[in-house]
Amino acid sequence: MTFFTHPLDHRTALHLVAVEDAEELAEVLNANRERIGTWEDWAREPQPLERQREFLRGQLQKFVGGTSLPCFIKVDGRLAGSIELRQVSAGDRVSEIGYWVSAEFEGQGLVRRACEAFIAHAFGPLERLRVELQIAADNERSCGLAERLGFTEEGTRRSAMVVGDRRHDLVWYGLLASEWRG
Amino acid sequence: MTFFTHPLDHRTALHLVAVEDAEELAEVLNANRERIGTWEDWAREPQPLERQREFLRGQLQKFVGGTSLPCFIKVDGRLAGSIELRQVSAGDRVSEIGYWVSAEFEGQGLVRRACEAFIAHAFGPLERLRVELQIAADNERSCGLAERLGFTEEGTRRSAMVVGDRRHDLVWYGLLASEWRG
Amino acid sequence: MTFFTHPLDHRTALHLVAVEDAEELAEVLNANRERIGTWEDWAREPQPLERQREFLRGQLQKFVGGTSLPCFIKVDGRLAGSIELRQVSAGDRVSEIGYWVSAEFEGQGLVRRACEAFIAHAFGPLERLRVELQIAADNERSCGLAERLGFTEEGTRRSAMVVGDRRHDLVWYGLLASEWRG
Amino acid sequence: MTFFTHPLDHRTALHLVAVEDAEELAEVLNANRERIGTWEDWAREPQPLERQREFLRGQLQKFVGGTSLPCFIKVDGRLAGSIELRQVSAGDRVSEIGYWVSAEFEGQGLVRRACEAFIAHAFGPLERLRVELQIAADNERSCGLAERLGFTEEGTRRSAMVVGDRRHDLVWYGLLASEWRG
Amino acid sequence: MTFFTHPLDHRTALHLVAVEDAEELAEVLNANRERIGTWEDWAREPQPLERQREFLRGQLQKFVGGTSLPCFIKVDGRLAGSIELRQVSAGDRVSEIGYWVSAEFEGQGLVRRACEAFIAHAFGPLERLRVELQIAADNERSCGLAERLGFTEEGTRRSAMVVGDRRHDLVWYGLLASEWRG
Amino acid sequence: MTFFTHPLDHRTALHLVAVEDAEELAEVLNANRERIGTWEDWAREPQPLERQREFLRGQLQKFVGGTSLPCFIKVDGRLAGSIELRQVSAGDRVSEIGYWVSAEFEGQGLVRRACEAFIAHAFGPLERLRVELQIAADNERSCGLAERLGFTEEGTRRSAMVVGDRRHDLVWYGLLASEWRG
Show the domains of chain E with their CATH numbers: 5-128 (3.40.630.30)
Q: Per the CB < 8 Å rule, is E159 touching D176?
A: yes
The confidence score (pLDDT) of residue E54 equals 94
Q: Per the CB < 8 Å rule, is D91 touching E41?
A: yes
Arithmetic mean of pLDDT over chain B? 94
Kindly list the averaged pLDDT for each block of 10 residues, start to end, along chain C of length 182: 87 94 95 91 89 94 92 96 93 95 95 97 94 97 96 97 94 96 62
ipTM attached to this prediction = 0.90
In terms of pLDDT, which residue wins out, D152 or B87? D152
> In F, which residues are within 8 Å of A176 by CB distance?
158-159
- Evaluate whether F94 touches F129 at the Cβ level (below 8 Å): yes
| Distant-in-sequence, close-in-space partners of D163: CB < 8 Å, separation ≥ 6 | D37, D38, D39, D40, D41, D44, D136
Span B135-164, average pLDDT: 96
The confidence score (pLDDT) of residue B47 equals 85
pLDDT > 80? residue D2: no
Could you say which of B152, B158, B174 has the minimum Cβ distance to residue C176? Answer: B158
E181 touches chain F (CB under 8 A): no
The confidence score (pLDDT) of residue A168 equals 96
> In C, which residues are within 8 Å of B91 by CB distance?
41-42, 162
The confidence score (pLDDT) of residue E182 equals 54
> In C, which residues are within 8 Å of B89 by CB distance?
160-161
> In D, which residues are within 8 Å of C6 by CB distance?
3-5
Could you say which of F1, F3, F60 has the minimum Cβ distance to residue E6? Answer: F3
Q: Per the CB < 8 Å rule, is C132 touching B157?
A: yes
- The CA R_g of chain A, rounded to the nearest whole Å, is 16
The confidence score (pLDDT) of residue E163 equals 93
Is residue A9 exposed (0-12), middle (13-18) or buried (19+ Cβ within 10 Å)? Answer: exposed
- Evaluate whether E43 touches E51 at the Cβ level (below 8 Å): no
- Evaluate whether E95 touches E87 at the Cβ level (below 8 Å): yes
A38 touches chain B (CB under 8 A): no
Per-residue H/E/C for chain A: CCCCEEECCCCEEEEECCHHHHHHHHHHHHHCHHHHCCCCHHHHCCCCHHHHHHHHHHHHHHHHHCCEEEEEEEECCEEEEEEEEEEEECCCCEEEEEEEECHHHCCCCHHHHHHHHHHHHHHCCCCCCEEEEEEECCCHHHHHHHHHCCCEEEEEEEEEEEECCEEEEEEEEEEEHHHCCC
- Three-state SS at B173: strand
| Distant-in-sequence, close-in-space partners of B102: CB < 8 Å, separation ≥ 6 | B28, B31, B32, B35, B36, B79, B80, B81
- Evaluate whether C137 touches C171 at the Cβ level (below 8 Å): yes
CA separation for the pair E1, F66 (Å, rounded): 13
Q: How far is CA D133 from CA D137, D147, D176, E87, in A?
A: 12, 11, 12, 20
> In A, which residues are within 8 Å of B4 by CB distance?
4-6, 14-16
> In B, which residues are within 8 Å of A15 by CB distance?
4
Among F1, F4, F84, the residue to mutate for chain E (most E Cβ within 10 A): F4
Closest-CA residue of E relative to D167 is E92
Arithmetic mean of pLDDT over chain D? 94
Closest-CA residue of F relative to A170 is F154
pLDDT > 80? residue E181: no
**92-121 of F, contacting E, C-beta below 8 A:** 121
Q: How confident is the model at residue A153 (pLDDT cuts 50, 70, 90)?
A: very high
Could you say which of C14, C64, C69 has the minimum Cβ distance to residue D64? Answer: C64
Q: Per the CB < 8 Å rule, is B4 touching A1?
A: no
> In D, which residues are within 8 Å of C125 by CB distance?
1, 3
pLDDT > 60? residue D1: no
E128 touches chain D (CB under 8 A): no
Could you say which of A5, A19, A57 has the minimum Cβ distance to residue B4? Answer: A5
Are chains B and D touching, using the cut-off of 8 Å on CB pairs and a minimum of 3 such pairs?
no
The confidence score (pLDDT) of residue B148 equals 96
pLDDT > 70? residue D102: yes
CA separation for the pair E30, C21 (Å, rounded): 36
Could you say which of B4, B15, B60 has the minimum Cβ distance to residue A64? Answer: B60
Q: How confident is the model at residue D182 (pLDDT cuts 50, 70, 90)?
A: low
- The CA R_g of chain F, rounded to the nearest whole Å, is 16
D174 touches chain E (CB under 8 A): yes
Pairing of strands A94-101, A78-89: antiparallel
B77 touches chain A (CB under 8 A): no
> In E, which residues are within 8 Å of F125 by CB distance?
1, 3
> In B, which residues are within 8 Å of C155 by CB distance?
154-157, 172
CA separation for the pair A135, A169 (Å, rounded): 8
Among D1, D2, D3, the residue to mutate for chain C (most C Cβ within 10 A): D3
The confidence score (pLDDT) of residue C182 equals 55
Is residue E24 exposed (0-12), middle (13-18) or buried (19+ Cβ within 10 Å)? Answer: middle
Arithmetic mean of pLDDT over chain E? 94
Residue A54: other Cβ atoms inside 10 A:
13
The confidence score (pLDDT) of residue F46 equals 87
Q: To the nearest whole angstrom, how far is the Cα of E178 from the nearest Cα of chain D?
A: 11
Residue B116: other Cβ atoms inside 10 A:
15
Nearest by Cα to C102 from C180, C150, C161, C30: C30
Q: What's F19's DSSP letter? A: G
* Chains in contact with chain E (at least 3 beta-carbon pairs closer than 8 A): D, F
- Evaluate whether C146 touches C135 at the Cβ level (below 8 Å): yes
> In F, which residues are within 8 Å of E63 by CB distance?
64
> In F, which residues are within 8 Å of E19 by CB distance?
66
A62 touches chain B (CB under 8 A): no
Q: How confident is the model at residue B1 (pLDDT cuts 50, 70, 90)?
A: low
Pairing of strands B130-136, C68-75: unpaired
| Distant-in-sequence, close-in-space partners of F88: CB < 8 Å, separation ≥ 6 | F94, F95, F96, F132
pLDDT > 80? residue B182: no
- Three-state SS at F11: coil
Q: What percent of chain E has pLDDT over 70?
A: 98
The confidence score (pLDDT) of residue F1 equals 57
pLDDT > 90? residue A1: no
pLDDT, tens digit, for every residue of D19-53?
999 999 999 999 999 899 999 889 898 888 999 99
F57 touches chain E (CB under 8 A): yes
The confidence score (pLDDT) of residue C128 equals 95
Could you say which of C1, C3, C121 has the minimum Cβ distance to residue D3? Answer: C121
Could you say which of C160, C172, C176 has the minimum Cβ distance to residue B94? Answer: C160
Tally DSSP H helices, then E strands, for chain D.
5, 8
> In D, which residues are within 8 Å of C3 by CB distance?
6, 14, 69, 121, 125
pLDDT, tens digit, for every residue of B79-108?
999 999 999 888 899 999 999 999 999 999
- Evaluate whether D145 touches D111 at the Cβ level (below 8 Å): yes
pLDDT > 80? residue A104: yes
The confidence score (pLDDT) of residue B150 equals 96
- Evaluate whether E154 touches E146 at the Cβ level (below 8 Å): no
Q: What percent of chain B has pLDDT over 90?
A: 84
Q: Per the CB < 8 Å rule, is E3 touching F69?
A: yes
- Evaluate whether E33 touches E16 at the Cβ level (below 8 Å): no
What are the beta bridge partners of residue D156?
D171
Tens place of pLDDT for every residue, chain F, 182 residues?
578 899 999 999 999 999 999 999 999 999 999 899 999 889 898 888 999 999 999 999 999 888 999 999 999 999 999 999 999 888 899 999 999 999 999 999 999 999 999 999 999 999 999 999 999 999 999 999 999 999 999 999 999 999 999 999 999 999 999 999 75
